[in-house]
């Protein structure tokens, strides 16, 4: 993650102050809104990464599931792993600055979560899948009824469940980066926001307005 302290918003797992609680709420919102990330782990076969939906438990853990045949599945239980959630990102052109001698950069939002992983029992996996599908079905805009597991017959549902494994990562370290031109004066940030909006990077521009101050 970016080492510049201006781009960090930190929150410990316990004893949150008001500012820390606000930062944690921001991190939780990022997990919820993106909803998808990567899990990294060194294995005897070399470093591996899995791409998976992520669900925060709201009390310091994230849950995910992988195909039983995934290269990480047999190594995760009991391991210390890293989950990464990427938010909006955008190229920042030096032509947008009034000041001379500027260079290109890239604004981005990312959150690293490090912690011990445990394999979930089948009931936990089912609860995870129900919560994930309910969250995503609520975003579908057609007129159909939301999909639920109840729509599947027991036999095919059982086969599907047998093919995946659920995991929970207990977060020991939150490492966020919100690189939103906080190291630039307000007038230069305003020019960057205008440049981003003109090229269609609306999400990054909005984050800069709301979070960079």
Q: What is the pLDDT of residues 16-52, one digit of tens each?
A: 445 778 888 889 999 999 999 999 999 999 999 999 9
pLDDT score, position 20: 77
Range of weakest confidence among 1-5, 116-120, 208-212: 1-5
Report, as an integer, the average pLDDT of 82-87. 97
Which tokens hold the place of 151? 């729509």
* pLDDT more than 70, % of the chain: 92
Residues 6+ apart with CB under 8 A from 100: none
Which tens digit of pLDDT belongs to each residue from 160-207? 999 999 999 999 999 999 999 998 999 999 999 999 999 999 999 999
Query: Which region among 8-22, 118-132, 158-172 has the lowest average model confidence (pLDDT)?
Result: 8-22
Sheet with 36-43: list strands edge to edge: 46-53, 36-43, 80-92, 105-119, 164-179, 61-67, 55-56
* Intra-chain end-to-end CA distance of the chain, in Å: 21
Task: Tell whether the model's pLDDT for residue 15 goes beyond 80.
Answer: no
What's the full length of the chain, in residues?
213
State pTM to two decimals.
Answer: 0.88
Q: What angle do CA 93, 6, 86 make, to 5 degrees?
A: 65
Tell which wins on pLDDT, 18 or 145. 145
- The DSSP call for residue 63 is E
160 SS3 class: helix
User: What is d(CA 85, CA 88) in angstroms, rounded to the nearest whole number?
Assistant: 10
Domains and CATH numbers, the chain: 5-183 (2.30.110.10)
Q: Is 124 left (phi over 0), alpha (psi -120 to 50) or beta?
A: alpha
């Amino acid at each position: 993650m970016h080492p510049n302290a201006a781009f960090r918003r930190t929150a410990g797992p316990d004893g949150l102050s008001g500012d820390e609680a606000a930062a944690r709420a921001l991190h939780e919102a990022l997990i919820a809104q993106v909803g998808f990330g990567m899990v990294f782990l060194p294995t005897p076969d070399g470093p591996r990464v899995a791409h998976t939906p992520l669900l925060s438990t709201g009390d310091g853990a994230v849950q995910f599931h992988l195909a039983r045949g995934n290269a990480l599945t047999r190594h995760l239980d009991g391991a210390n792993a890293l989950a990464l959630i990427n938010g909006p990102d955008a190229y920042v052109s030096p032509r947008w600055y009034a000041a001379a001698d500027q260079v290109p950069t890239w604004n981005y939002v990312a959150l690293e979560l490090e912690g011990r992983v445990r394999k979930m029992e089948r009931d936990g996996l089912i609860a995870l899948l129900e919560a994930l599908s309910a969250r995503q079905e609520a975003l579908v805009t057609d007129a159909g009824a939301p999909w639920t597991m109840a729509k599947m017959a027991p036999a095919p549902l059982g086969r599907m469940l047998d093919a995946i494994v659920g995991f929970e990562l207990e977060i020991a370290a939150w490492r966020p980066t919100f690189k939103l031109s906080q190291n630039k004066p307000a007038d230069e940030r305003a020019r960057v926001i205008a440049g981003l909006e003109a090229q269609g990077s609306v999400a990054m521009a909005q984050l800069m307005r709301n979070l960079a101050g």
